[in-house]
Amino acid sequence: MPAPHHLLIPYAASRAPGAQEALKGLALPHLDRLLARLSTADASPGEETSLTPPHERALAQALGLGTEDGLIPWAAWHRLQQGQPTGHPTGQTPDESAWAFITPCQWQVTTDHITLHDPAHLGLDEAASRELLAIVAPWFAEDGITLHYDQPTRWLASSPLFATLATASLERVQGRDVRAWMPNAREARTLHRLQSEMQMLLYTHPFNDARGAQGLPAVNSFWVHGTGALPAGLTAPAQPPQVADALRAPALREDWRAWASAWATLDAGPLADLLRQAEQGQPVRLTLSGEHSAQTFHTAPLGLVQRIQRFLRPQRFMDVREQL
């Protein structure tokens, strides 16, 4: 039997009042018809305070990366997908092949909050990002952390420090007080010191002076995420899940009108396609994820009692969303 087509939808539900209101008048006919055909495969319960969001945990499980909170090796996986060496599992120990993402960002410090603003609002292009990387890289190198350019708002870092250091996903902390999401103080002493040093270094640095003259926000800190090393003997699945990301951005900025519009687009596109495959007898999987939990559904044979129950009370999204 062919591998099932797997569609994963992050931020499918939110307990925010605005999201609840937006869903009241939203029709998702293809999703409801799909859920009526599918059986529950597994649930991934969690808390909004977990370092790893449920959709990342569900994706990591499907990819074979492990699901330890805050230690899903997304940076090492990204290196592997780019065809770059990760150092493991070809002889080195996990300590020697641990990677992390480093995101330059702006922290807004007030008397009772330290808020991390969306890095996309920094307006960093490749040239500015590489200039900043050259400024800070020697400081990281002194602590055995090697930085590599990846994209304007994300660098790669290698160091044994990242092998066992659990870190919060950037999506968890964006727009929130960073203090609740900082890595364990004892295990992350080096990073805490580096963050303090970067704030002092960049506070009056000509790099930020030039940005200020252009009306751009200052870059005064960084966030570490995606830490860990790839599991030994990792074999990527032949057909990894398709991640439908349209709900992510409006959910993170709490634009629930845009979120509802994105839901309608998903229903008319990827969900309609998945429904068509299911109706043609092809195996499919669907994972819906909120900020707390994720739920996976799949095509599976139903017994007589189950078919009767499904006919009398078909599974619908308005019921499922309460569990996410």
**Among the three residues 228, 247, 262, which one is the final residue of a domain in this structure?**
228
Q: Which of these, 72, 102, 243, 112, lies nearest to 170 by C-alpha position?
A: 102
Q: Is 243 within the bounds of a domain? A: yes
Residue 45 contacts residue 282 (beta carbons within 8 Å): no
**What pLDDT is attached to residue 318?**
67
Residue 318: what residue type? Answer: M
**What pLDDT is attached to residue 89?**
44
Q: Which of these, 165, 52, 179, lies nearest to 111 by C-alpha position?
A: 179
Q: Is 78 within the bounds of a domain? A: yes
How far apart are the two ends of the chain, measured CA to CA in Å? 30
Q: Is 129 within the bounds of a domain? A: yes
The model's pLDDT over 129-184, given as tens digits with 9 standing for 90+, comes to 999 999 999 999 999 999 999 999 999 999 999 999 999 999 999 999 999 999 98
Q: Is 47 within the bounds of a domain? A: yes
Q: Is 272 within the bounds of a domain? A: yes
**Among the three residues 228, 250, 285, which one is the final residue of a domain in this structure?**
228
Average pLDDT over residues 193-218: 94
Residue 264 contacts residue 28 (beta carbons within 8 Å): yes
**Among the three residues 198, 228, 258, which one is the final residue of a domain in this structure?**
228
Using a pLDDT cut of 70, give the percent of the chain over it. Answer: 89
Q: Is 69 within the bounds of a domain? A: no
Looking at the fold, whether 83 and 14 belong to one and the same domain comes out as no
Domains contained in the chain, number = 2
Place of tokens 């039997």: 1
Looking at the fold, whether 242 and 223 belong to one and the same domain comes out as no
The Cα 221–Cα 153 span in angstroms is 12
**What pLDDT is attached to residue 82?**
86
**What pLDDT is attached to residue 74?**
97
Q: Is the pTM of this model over 0.75?
A: yes
Expressed as residue numbers, the domain containing 20 is 5-64+237-323
Q: Is 90 within the bounds of a domain? A: yes
Looking at the fold, whether 79 and 222 belong to one and the same domain comes out as yes
Looking at the fold, whether 86 and 204 belong to one and the same domain comes out as yes
Residue 312, pLDDT > 70, answer no
Looking at the fold, whether 56 and 90 belong to one and the same domain comes out as no
Looking at the fold, whether 89 and 198 belong to one and the same domain comes out as yes
Q: Is 159 within the bounds of a domain? A: yes
**What pLDDT is attached to residue 28?**
92
Looking at the fold, whether 54 and 93 belong to one and the same domain comes out as no
**What pLDDT is attached to residue 237?**
78
Looking at the fold, whether 101 and 134 belong to one and the same domain comes out as yes
Give the mean pLDDT of the chain: 88
Looking at the fold, whether 44 and 111 belong to one and the same domain comes out as no
Convert the chain into a string of H (helix), E (strand) and C (coil): CCCCEEEEECCCCCCCHHHHHHHHCCCCHHHHHHHHHCEEEEEECCCCCCCCCHHHHHHHHHHCCCCCCCCCCHHHHHHHHCCCCCCCCCCCCHHHHCEEEEEEECEEECCCCEEECCHHHHCCCHHHHHHHHHHHHHHHHCCCCEEEEEECCEEEEECHHHHCCCCCCHHHHECCEHHHHCCCCCCCHHHHHHHHHHHHHHHCCHHHHHHHHCCCCCCCEEEEEEEECCCCCCCCCCCCCEECCCCHHHHHCCCHHHHHHHHHHHHHCHHHHHHHHHHCCCCEEEEEECCCCEEEEECCCCCHHHHHHHHHCCCCHHHHHHHC
Looking at the fold, whether 265 and 213 belong to one and the same domain comes out as no
Looking at the fold, whether 79 and 214 belong to one and the same domain comes out as yes
Looking at the fold, whether 164 and 182 belong to one and the same domain comes out as yes
The Cα 99–Cα 145 span in angstroms is 10
